[in-house]
Amino acid sequence: MSNQEPATILLIDDHPMLRTGVKQLISMAPDITVVGEASNGEQGIELAESLDPDLILLDLNMPGMNGLETLDKLREKSLSGRIVVFSVSNHEEDVVTALKRGADGYLLKDMEPEDLLKALHQAAAGEMVLSEALTPVLAASLRANRATTERDVNQLTPRERDILKLIAQGLPNKMIARRLDITESTVKVHVKHMLKKMKLKSRVEAAVWVHQGQIFCLRVPAQ
């Protein structure tokens, strides 16, 4: 994404008033812009392929192809942007399922406008985002699975530990690569291996796991 060009956002939501409200909010920020909107999953997928936006804001509950089905289809495409679920649901099952199926974040529709705008900036820049109210929800899911899922951070390589720590700080792969002076493709390989070893389904789940005190001795890579 060029520093001189605004970040591009695609809205996929079946509620016209919601889309209008989000567009009005985004219009207040000169560095992000809505380039397309869709009222259903099928149309959203077509627009995503043609526009390849920096960020897709995806409703979870839509008639026809629902948000999770749309997410699955979008993940099958070679899209460069992030996909963030935007929903009224704060149910643990919805949040965890969306993240496991590849969402780069989960935001609630009752967020304060300024918080939503900040989250959209972060997501468009490549960071993972999660409504603050959802952190306890995801933490509860991790605690529930703790008895059946043993995670030993000692099985990670030093590099994988570095990357896990930076993921917990919210850094996207590109920024992690710069911080560690390695290629972005190498970061992706390490992330894949780290998630598999830790039996974690997503970057967001990994970050919450770290922040909930499951890891106490990760060294912080130098700036």
Q: What's the topology of domain 133-213?
A: Arc Repressor Mutant, subunit A (1.10.10)
Any idea which of 17-26, 112-121, 124-133, 179-188 has the lowest mean pLDDT? Answer: 124-133
CB-facing half-sphere around the CA of 36: CA atoms within 13 A:
19
Higher pLDDT, 7 or 137: 7
Q: Tokens 């920024």 map to which residue?
A: 175
pTM of this prediction exceeds 0.85: no
The kind and range of the H/E element at 74 are: helix 67-76
- pLDDT tens per residue, range 174-219: 889 999 999 988 998 999 899 888 888 777 778 777 766 554 444 4
Q: Is 126 helix (H, G, I), strand (E, B) or coil?
A: coil
Higher pLDDT, 4 or 222: 4
Q: Where in the chain do CATH 1.10.10.10 domains reside? A: 133-213
Q: Where in the chain do CATH 3.40.50.2300 domains reside? A: 7-125
Q: In whole angstroms, give the CA distance from residue 91 to residue 104.
A: 17
Classify domain 7-125 by CATH number: 3.40.50.2300
